[in-house]
């Protein structure tokens, strides 16, 4: 057995771990994070005061720009 990969003490059995085991742990954690982000994206309603929809036409853009010239509407987003 390779002396570099053997634990130094009986209590030190977790590190260093084999590359395959490490990669599996990292990928598992990344998948957990990915699934949590997806879950939050589906469940969390956007904040009504700070939610902006993409403007589809120039007229919609100009209407939104005009609305945001009102200081109170603008500050509600900032």
- Tell me the C-alpha distance between 29 and 24, whole Å: 9
Q: Could you list the mean pLDDT of each consecutive 10-residue stretch along the chain, which spans 78 residues?
A: 55 74 94 90 62 83 88 76
> End-to-end alpha-carbon separation of the chain, Å?
61
Q: How many CA atoms lie within 13 A of 70 on its CB side?
A: 8
- Tell me the C-alpha distance between 57 and 73, whole Å: 21
Which pLDDT belongs to residue 25?
Answer: 92
């Amino acid at each position: 057995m390779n002396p570099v990969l053997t634990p130094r003490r009986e209590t030190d059995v977790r590190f260093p771990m084999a590359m395959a085991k490490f990669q599996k742990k990292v990928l598992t954690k990344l998948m957990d994070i990915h699934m949590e982000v997806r879950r939050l994206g589906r469940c969390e309603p956007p904040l009504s005061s700070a939610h902006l929809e993409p403007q589809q036409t120039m007229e919609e853009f100009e209407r939104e720009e005009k609305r945001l010239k009102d200081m109170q509407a603008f500050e509600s987003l900032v």
